[in-house]
Every structure is written in C-alpha cells, then in structure tokens.
Amino acid sequence: MPAPMSAGPRRCRALLRLPAVVCLSAALLVGSAAGWYTFAGNELSGSGLPGPGAAGPETGPVPSWAADLPWPAEGQSSAEVDGIGSLGTRGEQTPVPIASITKVMTAYVILTDHPMSAEEQGIKVTADQQAADESYSATESTAPLVAGRDYTQRQLLELMMLPSGNNVARLLARWDAGSQEEFTRKMNEAASKLGMDHTVYTGASGIESSTKSTARDQLTLARAVMKNEAFRRIVATPAVTAPGTGVQIRNSNRLLGQDGVIGLKTGSSTPAGGNLMWAATKNIEGTPRLILGVVLHQQAGTHPAQAMTAAFSTSRTLITAIRDALPQAFAGQ
C-alpha cells in the first residue's frame, strides 16, 4: 500500500474512523508480501541475506555497465551493490524536498539513542493528547494513537514507517528530545556525522518542504540505517494492527516482497514529488547481495499519488535491471 506519505497540498486521503483515525491514501492501497528477517552474526538467519556490514561506501570506480542502466529520466537517483560498490548517481545532486523519506533519519536517531535488538519491543512510550488529536488530521498522513495509552518503541516505529504517520514521528521526537526542535537538531547532527553535507532537516516527519537532501546523501543514510537489525525487520513488515483500534495498516512500500525488495521508505508531496528509498537483494552463486537505491523528485508539482506511482515505476525498472546485470557483473570480477 503506497503512499500515506508526508502531507502537502492536494493530498488524496481516506479516513478510517474507529477509536482513532488512520489516514491513508486510498488511491494507493495495494497489498504487499514480505517475510520477517532475523540477524544472526553476519547473515539474516533463515534467509541468507547480507548482514550489518552490507553495502559499502561510494569508493572505487563505477562499473562501466552502470551507465547503461535505465536510470530515471527526471529528478535524481543513486544506487550501490554489496561487493561492487557505487553504481553512480544520475541527475543534478541539488538538495530537494524529500517528504516522508525524512522518517528514515528519525528512526535512525531514535534507534541510536534507544538501541533495541531485532526481537525486543523496546521502551514503552505514552501517547500524549497532541499525538492523539493529530490522528484525526485530514491534511497529512497519520496513524491512530490513543491518548494515555502505552506503546512500545517498536510499535511506534512501525506506525511511523509503515503508514508514514507524521503524528507518530513528532511524538517520538518529543519523547526523545523534549521538543521537535531539539530533535531536529539531533537529526542534523547525525547527518553531519554521516557526511551528508547536502542535507538539512527542519522537522521529524517530512511534512516541511524545507527539509531537503540529495539522492547521494540519502543513499549514505540507507547504508547506515540498514545495518540496524531492528530497523531492517521493521521495514520488511508487510502490515501491522494498530494497538487499541484493531485497524490493520499495510506497508506503504508497494514494491515490498517483489523483485527482491526487502524495504525501505516512501515519501511524496506536491513540492517533493514521488520519492523512494529502497533495499533489495539478489542471490549470486549462493551469496546474497544487498542492493540499495534512492529515487527522488519524480513528477514534482503534480498530485502526490501520481508522483508516487512514477517513483515506484522508475524504481522497479532500475531494480530489475540491476538484478539482471549482477550475475554477469560478478562473473567478470
């Protein structure tokens, strides 16, 4: 189910009013399938997927065959493969709004400040009245929260990452740092430490079009956050049930479970266009290889649903071509 994404003008929205409200983009409700993965040493037990040390930084020459990949014709994009390195970037790497891709950094900071294993539920957090009231918003993507109810850290991360709950992102920011402003400072500090020199965060959810980054910077973040076992399991989750409401919420990543895709995050708004950070795998001679990529600013200025559909389409085409090229690429090494 794509696109409960960060809000912007001209949002397409359907409200499910039960004990609380979950705001989802009805035009993009699509089922997905994926498994649960558990790290064990350097592999994901039961799957053979590469572990925390997967894809490396953009070092070494870009392989010549990468130039022939079907890169998106607009916006900007970047990709890399474990065991090969960078496949390069396309499009001018000028900072652009990234919408709900912002929540990847929010999760990164939360999991850095409050580590948890793949199996743990993490610390309990009480939903405040503000987060509950924001569940009823018709102008941004939210997830249902009940004031005074305790949620585990994992539950909140799921409600933030899967349906792209802006209210959950802001709740986590207040819980972690006391205010969204202080949390945003921590987000920018984390970006600086990762070398994301063309990124500025101005909020925890991505609703602000002033939060800007580049495909190259966001690929750096994808590489770092996918080393976290708990995060990797969360973004591979097809659906969850919102505690206390019985509302089932599907993952907004329409590509999840297809073409080797195991995560990551959607994001769209009218200023940002359609955006997708993705992680996929390809088994090469018994060795699983992790593929990471970011596609930004697809059909910016159009309806978010239309823009997100474009981001899914261009990403799927690129993922398929990379996976098809890898057997020969590794055979030539």
CATH number at residue 98: 3.40.710.10
**pLDDT over 50 (residue 42):** no
In this prediction, residue 138 has a pLDDT band, given cuts at 50, 70 and 90, of confident
pLDDT value at 262 more than 60: yes
In a domain, 109, yes or no: yes
- Domain contains 281: yes
Position 7 in a domain: no
CA 173 to chain centre: 17
Would you say residue 23 lies in a domain?
yes
- Report the domain count for the chain: 1
d(CA 330, CA 70): 19
Q: Give the pLDDT score at 300.
A: 95
User: DSSP H helical segments within the chain, as ranges?
Assistant: 102-113, 129-133, 153-161, 166-177, 180-193, 215-225, 229-235, 304-331
Q: Which domain holds residue 46?
A: 14-331
Give the predicted TM-score (pTM) of the model: 0.83
| Residue 222, domain member (yes or no) | yes
Q: Look at residue 3 and tell me if it is in a domain.
A: no
318 part of a folded domain: yes
Query: What pLDDT was estimated at residue 61?
Result: 85
Looking at residue 267, its pLDDT comes to 96
Q: Residue 40: pLDDT above 50?
A: no
Residue 202: inside a domain: yes
Tens-place pLDDT, residues 176-201: 999 999 999 999 999 999 999 999 99
